[in-house]
Amino acid sequence: MTHDNRVYDRQMLRSAFQSLFWNVILTRKRQNGFNFKALADKLGINKSYVSRSFSSPPNWQIDKVADMSEALGVDLIIEARDRKNPNVIYTPSGIRQPATTSTSLDKMLTFGRPSPVTSTDSQPDQPKVVTMIKRAA
Protein backbone atom coordinates (compact mmCIF):
# COMPACT_ATOMS: atom_id res chain seq x y z
CA MET A 1 0.00 0.00 0.00
CA THR A 2 1.39 3.38 -0.95
CA HIS A 3 1.63 6.24 1.51
CA ASP A 4 -1.05 8.17 -0.41
CA ASN A 5 -3.44 5.20 -0.24
CA ARG A 6 -2.81 4.83 3.50
CA VAL A 7 -3.50 8.54 4.07
CA TYR A 8 -6.68 8.31 1.96
CA ASP A 9 -7.94 5.23 3.84
CA ARG A 10 -7.34 6.93 7.19
CA GLN A 11 -9.20 10.06 6.07
CA MET A 12 -12.12 7.96 4.84
CA LEU A 13 -12.31 6.07 8.14
CA ARG A 14 -12.26 9.33 10.11
CA SER A 15 -14.95 10.72 7.85
CA ALA A 16 -17.07 7.58 8.30
CA PHE A 17 -16.99 7.93 12.09
CA GLN A 18 -17.79 11.63 11.87
CA SER A 19 -20.69 10.94 9.49
CA LEU A 20 -21.98 8.13 11.68
CA PHE A 21 -22.13 10.33 14.77
CA TRP A 22 -23.57 13.27 12.78
CA ASN A 23 -26.37 10.98 11.62
CA VAL A 24 -27.19 10.00 15.22
CA ILE A 25 -27.02 13.63 16.43
CA LEU A 26 -29.23 14.96 13.63
CA THR A 27 -31.79 12.19 14.17
CA ARG A 28 -31.87 12.88 17.92
CA LYS A 29 -32.11 16.62 17.23
CA ARG A 30 -35.22 16.07 15.07
CA GLN A 31 -36.74 13.69 17.61
CA ASN A 32 -36.18 15.57 20.84
CA GLY A 33 -34.05 18.69 20.35
CA PHE A 34 -30.70 17.06 21.19
CA ASN A 35 -27.74 19.39 20.51
CA PHE A 36 -23.99 19.84 20.96
CA LYS A 37 -24.53 21.32 24.44
CA ALA A 38 -26.39 18.18 25.55
CA LEU A 39 -23.67 16.00 24.03
CA ALA A 40 -20.94 18.08 25.70
CA ASP A 41 -22.73 17.78 29.04
CA LYS A 42 -22.92 13.98 28.69
CA LEU A 43 -19.23 13.85 27.74
CA GLY A 44 -18.30 16.24 30.57
CA ILE A 45 -16.48 18.60 28.18
CA ASN A 46 -16.91 22.09 26.74
CA LYS A 47 -19.42 22.60 23.91
CA SER A 48 -16.79 24.40 21.80
CA TYR A 49 -14.62 21.25 21.86
CA VAL A 50 -17.55 19.19 20.56
CA SER A 51 -18.23 21.78 17.84
CA ARG A 52 -14.57 21.75 16.75
CA SER A 53 -14.63 17.94 16.66
CA PHE A 54 -17.36 18.07 14.02
CA SER A 55 -16.19 21.13 12.05
CA SER A 56 -13.00 19.57 10.70
CA PRO A 57 -11.84 16.03 9.93
CA PRO A 58 -11.47 14.43 13.34
CA ASN A 59 -8.48 12.46 14.53
CA TRP A 60 -10.33 10.85 17.40
CA GLN A 61 -8.66 8.24 19.54
CA ILE A 62 -10.56 5.04 20.29
CA ASP A 63 -11.38 6.39 23.77
CA LYS A 64 -13.09 9.44 22.21
CA VAL A 65 -15.08 7.20 19.83
CA ALA A 66 -16.16 5.03 22.79
CA ASP A 67 -17.11 8.11 24.85
CA MET A 68 -19.10 9.55 21.93
CA SER A 69 -20.91 6.24 21.47
CA GLU A 70 -21.76 6.10 25.18
CA ALA A 71 -22.95 9.72 25.28
CA LEU A 72 -25.19 9.14 22.25
CA GLY A 73 -26.50 5.84 23.61
CA VAL A 74 -25.47 3.78 20.59
CA ASP A 75 -23.53 0.54 20.25
CA LEU A 76 -20.97 0.29 17.48
CA ILE A 77 -19.82 -3.01 15.99
CA ILE A 78 -16.33 -3.90 14.73
CA GLU A 79 -16.07 -6.00 11.60
CA ALA A 80 -13.24 -6.45 9.14
CA ARG A 81 -13.95 -7.80 5.64
CA ASP A 82 -11.17 -9.83 4.00
CA ARG A 83 -10.33 -8.11 0.69
CA LYS A 84 -9.06 -11.28 -0.97
CA ASN A 85 -11.92 -13.48 0.23
CA PRO A 86 -15.13 -11.42 0.63
CA ASN A 87 -16.89 -14.41 2.21
CA VAL A 88 -14.77 -13.95 5.34
CA ILE A 89 -15.78 -11.27 7.83
CA TYR A 90 -13.78 -11.10 11.05
CA THR A 91 -15.49 -10.01 14.27
CA PRO A 92 -14.18 -9.81 17.84
CA SER A 93 -15.94 -13.12 18.52
CA GLY A 94 -14.76 -14.97 15.38
CA ILE A 95 -15.56 -15.22 11.69
CA ARG A 96 -19.06 -14.80 10.26
CA GLN A 97 -20.54 -15.17 6.80
CA PRO A 98 -21.58 -11.95 5.04
CA ALA A 99 -25.19 -11.08 4.35
CA THR A 100 -26.27 -11.76 0.79
CA THR A 101 -27.02 -8.08 0.14
CA SER A 102 -25.52 -4.73 1.07
CA THR A 103 -26.37 -1.07 0.72
CA SER A 104 -24.79 1.84 -1.10
CA LEU A 105 -23.40 2.93 2.25
CA ASP A 106 -21.68 -0.44 2.63
CA LYS A 107 -20.01 0.23 -0.70
CA MET A 108 -18.85 3.67 0.48
CA LEU A 109 -17.41 2.21 3.68
CA THR A 110 -15.07 -0.10 1.78
CA PHE A 111 -12.89 3.03 1.48
CA GLY A 112 -12.38 3.21 -2.24
CA ARG A 113 -12.40 -0.52 -2.86
CA PRO A 114 -15.30 -2.09 -4.75
CA SER A 115 -17.75 -3.95 -2.56
CA PRO A 116 -17.98 -7.64 -3.42
CA VAL A 117 -21.65 -7.83 -2.44
CA THR A 118 -24.78 -6.96 -4.46
CA SER A 119 -26.61 -3.72 -3.69
CA THR A 120 -30.16 -3.49 -2.28
CA ASP A 121 -30.82 0.01 -3.64
CA SER A 122 -33.81 -1.35 -5.56
CA GLN A 123 -35.26 -2.78 -2.31
CA PRO A 124 -36.34 0.21 -0.19
CA ASP A 125 -37.60 -2.04 2.66
CA GLN A 126 -34.07 -3.18 3.50
CA PRO A 127 -32.59 -1.53 6.60
CA LYS A 128 -29.38 0.39 6.04
CA VAL A 129 -27.01 -0.34 8.92
CA VAL A 130 -23.45 0.83 9.50
CA THR A 131 -21.40 -1.49 11.67
CA MET A 132 -18.07 -0.40 13.09
CA ILE A 133 -17.42 -0.97 16.82
CA LYS A 134 -19.28 -2.78 19.60
CA ARG A 135 -18.95 -1.79 23.23
CA ALA A 136 -18.41 -4.51 25.78
CA ALA A 137 -21.60 -5.23 27.72
User: What is the pTM assigned to this prediction?
Assistant: 0.60
Q: Which helix (H) or strand (E) holds 91?
A: strand 89-91
Domain boundaries for CATH 1.10.260 within the chain = 3-71
Report pLDDT digits (tens) over 12-47. 888 888 888 999 999 999 999 999 999 999 999 999
CATH of the domain spanning 3-71, picked from 1.10.260, 3.40.640, 1.10.8, 1.10.10: 1.10.260
Phi, psi of 16 (to 5 degrees): -65, -45
Least confident of 15-19, 46-50, 124-128, 131-135: 124-128
Over the stretch 47-97, which tens digit does the pLDDT of each residue have? 998 998 888 777 888 889 999 999 999 998 888 888 888 888 888 888 887
